[in-house]
Amino acid sequence: MTGARPSHFSPELAERARELVALYPEPRSALIPLCHLAQEQDGYLTAEAMEEVAALVGVTPAEVLGTASFYDMLHTEPVGRYVVAICTNIACMLGGALELLEHAEAHLQVGVGGTTADGLFTLEEAECLADCDRTPCVQVNHRFVGAQTPESFERLVAELRAGGRVEEIPPHGTLVRVRRTIGLAADPAAVAAERAAEAEARAAREAASGDGGGR
Ligand code: FES
């Protein structure tokens, strides 16, 4: 059978993926932004998405997996619509984080790392989230929701279950509402010329160092 494999990305995201790759002198520099793009579409990094990202930046799918599995914000397994992170680092621990985490596990009926049966919530224990003056600190989909008590946590869960806070907390994987435009408007010919000039300069440097070594 011949012909290109259909893109895993939607047409809109496939276009954004191409724009992202064009932003960087080296395509592989777009690896993490592309992972976020895939996660925004699917909620986590599927095997198909990792294959496509690998092809776009010229690495192997294993390298994509190796990179993605290193970062907390990237998920290589399905997660809930809401990823709830409770910080248990020292300031939050002193503010009742362990009690809150225990309460959250009981209330959601999942352990840390688990996802509720309805697929809505994944519970995570986090290291310092840099909001140490509001303890215990909780994030939902990487949005700060302020210090929580067991009671306010239950209210928060109920609100999210009922479809509240949609503006404040978009589905997991959505990083930003405002798209970057600087650089995306770059003239493709100018980018290609810049890359060619860089390649030429690199080749010249390599040739020069080779000459120097021969003297
Ligand atoms: S210790 Fe929890 S946010 Fe810093």
Residue 40 lies in a domain: yes
Residue 172 lies in a domain: no
User: Distances in Å between the alpha carbon of 127 and those of 59, 115, 147, 202, 213?
Assistant: 31, 19, 15, 42, 50
Residue that finishes a domain, picked among 57, 76, 95? 76
pLDDT (0 to 100) of residue 24: 85
User: Which is the closest atom of ligand 1 to the Cα of 135?
Assistant: 2
Choose among 75, 83, 144: nearest CA to 110. Answer: 83
Strand pairing class (121-126; 82-87): parallel
Full-model pTM: 0.76
User: Distances in Å between the alpha carbon of 38 and those of 126, 160, 212?
Assistant: 23, 24, 46
pLDDT (0 to 100) of residue 172: 81
User: Distance (Å, rounded) from C-alpha 67 to C-alpha 164?
Assistant: 34
User: Which is the closest atom of ligand 1 to the Cα of 131?
Assistant: 3
> Does ligand 1 have an atom closer than 6 angstroms to the CB of 101?
no
Which residue among 86, 98, 128 has the greatest number of ligand 1 atoms within 8 angstroms of its CB, and so is best to mutate? 128
Check whether residue 91 and residue 66 sit in a common domain.
no
Residue 127 domain boundaries: 82-161
Provide the 3-class DSSP secondary structure of residue 138: strand
Higher pLDDT, 214 or 47: 47
Check whether residue 116 and residue 134 sit in a common domain.
yes
Q: What is the DSSP letter of 215?
A: -
Provide the 3-class DSSP secondary structure of residue 82: strand
CATH of the domain at 136: 3.40.30.10
Q: Ligand 1 centroid to 203 CA: how many Å?
A: 48
Residue 95 lies in a domain: yes
Q: Ligand 1 centroid to 146 CA: how many Å?
A: 11
Give the pLDDT mean for 19-28. Answer: 87
Residue 33 lies in a domain: yes
Residue 6 lies in a domain: no
User: Distances in Å between the alpha carbon of 90 and those of 85, 101, 116, 133, 182?
Assistant: 15, 14, 27, 12, 39
Q: Ligand 1 centroid to 170 CA: how many Å?
A: 23
Check whether residue 19 and residue 55 sit in a common domain.
yes
pLDDT (0 to 100) of residue 212: 47
Contact between residue 46 and residue 8 where contact means Cβ atoms under 8 Å apart: yes
For 39-57, the pLDDT digits (tens) are 989 989 999 999 999 999 9
